[in-house]
Structure 1
Amino acid sequence: MSKTVGDTLIGVLDDLEEAELKRFKRKLCDRKQEPKVRKGNVEKADPVDLVDLLTRTFTEDGALNVAIEVLGAINCQNVAEELIEFKKYKHFVDHHRTALIDRVTHVEPILDRLLEKEIITVNAYSEQEPKVRKGIVEKADTVDLVDLLTRTFTDDGAVNVAIEELDKHFVDHHRTALIDRVTHVEPILDRLLERGIITTNTYSEVRAGKKKQKRMRELFDGPVKACGTKGKDIFLDILMDLEPWLISDLKGE
Structure 2
Amino acid sequence: MGLTLQEGLVKALKKLEDSSFQGFIEKLSVLEVREQYKNIPKDELTGKDPEHVAGLIIEYYKYAYGAEVTLVVLEDIDEKKVREELQHDLMEADPSKNGLGTKMFTVMRNDFLFDDKVNFIDDHRSKLITKITDVDPVLRDLRDQGLLTQEQYNDVMENITTWEKMRDLCDIIRYWEDIGKYTAYNVLRGYNEEIIRDLETEDWNLVLRLESQTGGGHFLDRHRSHLIDNIKEVNPLLEDLRSNCLLTEGNYNDLQAMTTPEIKMRNLCDIFRHQSDTVKDQVYIYLWRYNYTVINNLEISERKAKST
Q: Smaller-chain TM-score range?
A: 0.3 to 0.5
Q: Which of the two has higher C-alpha Rg?
A: 2
TM-score (norm 2): 0.31
TM-score (norm 1): 0.38
